Amino acid sequence: MRLHHGEDLEPARIAAARDGDESAKAWLVDRWTAPTYRFCRRMLKNDEDARDAAQETLVKVLRNLDQYDASRKFSTWVFGIARNTCIDEHRRRKRRVWDEPRDTVDTGPTPLQVASTNERAERLSSALEGLPPMYREVLVLYHFEHLKYCEIAEALDLPMGTVMNRIFRARRKLRDIYEESGGES
């Protein structure tokens, strides 16, 4: 899991937020907005849907703090809620065009080496979007949110063996899509 300033304060803030402390709630939202949005954006491929899903996730987190089991990692609980919210969002928006082209940022002219790196990243990003959600979510949690394997199993409420199988298959599929698009792994 990515380290964050004041992470060791988290259990105390969670307890305070659970008791209704507004500043503790604000701290938790500030702490978890970026990871939650990043996850939703990578799962939903669309800025607007990701924003809605991230907001819904964090509201659920705040409203259900009394259901959080402190023996689990808070990150796995939050990502579990985010994942379920993304699935719901996906179902709700099924009629909309699902695979809209991803918004790209115009980075302007860059040195050749940087362009090459950006190109690889862009190609990988497209390949990742081509993966079914069940494979994409394990890779996003592992490679971007840096969850451990056991934490991914906890967040997705899956046995460790299933998580490992999904990660292996996801990597293989990702490599195939990436190489088909002209990238060299």
Partner 1 sequence: MSEHVPEDLLVAFVEGEMGEQLSIHIAEHLDSCPMCATRAACLEPLGPAFAAMEDPEVPEGLAAAVLAAAAEEERPPQLEIAVGIGLLVAAIGVFVLLGEPLALASHGMVWLGALSAAGKALLLGLPSPIVMLPVTVVLGAASALLFARAAWPDALPEPPLRLAGRRLP
- Per-residue contact flags (x/-) with partner 1 for residues 28 to 47, judged by CB under 8 A: -xx--xx--xx--xx----x
Per CB under 8 A, 129 contacts partner 1 = no
55 binds partner 1 (CB under 8 A): yes
Count of residues that interact with partner 1, criterion CB under 8 A: 48
State the nearest-atom distance from the C-beta of 170 to partner 1, in Å: 9
Q: Mention every residue, 6+ apart, whose C-beta is less than 8 A from residue 59.
A: none
Nearest residue (CB) to partner 1, 18 versus 143:
143
| Sign of the alpha-carbon torsion through 72, 73, 78, 80 | negative
Is 165 a binding residue for partner 1 by CB under 8 A? The answer is: yes
**Residue 123 lies near partner 1 (rule: CB under 8 A):** yes
**Closest distance between partner 1 and the C-beta of residue 153, in Å?**
9
Would you call 110 helix, strand, or coil by DSSP?
coil
Place of tokens 């509201």: 59
Alpha carbons 66 and 6: distance in angstroms, whole number: 22
Write the burial class of residue 180 (CB in 10 Å: 0-12 exposed, 13-18 middle, 19+ buried): exposed
Among 125, 132, 157, 180, binds partner 1 (CB under 8 A): 125
CB of 32 to partner 1, least distance (A): 9
**Rule CB under 8 A: is residue 64 a binding residue for partner 1?**
no
For residue 17, what are the contacts with CB-CB under 8 A and spacing of at least 6?
A: 24, 25, 27, 28, 62, 65
Nearest CB to partner 1, comparing residues 90 and 123:
123
| Nearest in space to 49 (alpha carbons), one of 59, 40, 38 | 40
Spatial contact of 147 and 1, defined as CB atoms under 8 Å apart: yes
CA 88 – CA 156 distance, rounded (Å): 15
- Find the shortest distance in angstroms from Cβ 4 to partner 1: 14
Contact residues: partner 1, CB under 8 A: 25-26, 29-30, 33-34, 37-38, 41-42, 47, 50-51, 54-55, 58-59, 62-63, 105, 117-118, 120-121, 123-125, 143-144, 148-151, 160-161, 163-165, 167-169, 171-172, 174-175, 178, 183, 185
